[in-house]
């Protein structure tokens, strides 16, 4: 399974990046994430791990595999025959606006089965995260997403 979503954001790339990279705050602006905790320190670096719990899904440990500060980070998780790669990319589109692209790609022996069983929820969660990041970055303080975005 492979899925990607892109949103245009009325915020400078550095504000979008601040929201993207602050993963522990994601539960404040999206209902698709219940908890994020860094296991190796307080920030994302290549090799650092984060444990993420999402509604209706088992908690997974994600390892940062690529990081271009201010622009992109990728991480991956493995579980029961499935390797999942998550991508997060921020690009300037001019006039203080940005484009955020989030992607998810699953591979492995059981990826087809997992995609069939959870693909719809996974796609919905990725879209929720993109929209939540958009709201967070467009708020006055991108590092402190407004509580009003939660339902």
| Domains of the chain: residue spans and CATH | 2-141 (3.30.530.20)
pLDDT score of 1: 75
In the predicted structure, residue 28 carries a pLDDT above the cut 70: yes
Sign of the Cα torsion 115, 121, 122, 123 reads positive
Give the Cβ contact number of residue 17 at 10 Å: 22
The continuous run of DSSP H or E covering 74 comes out as strand 72-79
Band of residue 91 on the pLDDT scale cut at 50, 70, 90: very high
Instruction: Report the pLDDT averaged over residues 22-50.
Output: 93
In the predicted structure, residue 145 carries a pLDDT above the cut 50: no
- In the three-class reduction of DSSP (H, G, I as helix; E, B as strand; rest coil), residue 2 is classed as strand
DSSP state of 24: G
pLDDT score of 42: 75
Instruction: Report the pLDDT averaged over residues 116-129.
Output: 84
Sign of the Cα torsion 29, 51, 23, 72 reads negative
* Strand 82-94 versus strand 49-53 pairing type: unpaired
In the predicted structure, residue 142 carries a pLDDT above the cut 80: no
């Amino acid at each position: 399974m492979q899925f990607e979503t892109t949103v245009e954001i009325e915020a400078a790339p550095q504000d979008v990046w601040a929201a993207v990279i602050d993963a522990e705050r994601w539960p404040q602006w999206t209902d698709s994430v219940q908890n994020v905790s860094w296991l190796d320190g307080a920030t994302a670096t290549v090799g650092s791990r984060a444990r993420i719990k999402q509604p209706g899904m088992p908690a997974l440990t994600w390892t940062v595999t690529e990081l271009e500060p201010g622009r992109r980070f990728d991480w991956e998780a493995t579980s029961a025959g499935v390797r999942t790669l998550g991508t997060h990319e921020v690009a300037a589109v001019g006039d203080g606006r940005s484009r955020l692209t989030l992607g998810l790609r699953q591979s492995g022996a059981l990826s087809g089965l997992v995609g069939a069983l959870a693909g719809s929820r996974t796609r919905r969660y990725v879209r929720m995260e993109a929209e939540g990041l958009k709201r967070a970055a467009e708020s006055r303080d991108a590092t402190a997403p407004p509580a009003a975005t939660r339902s």
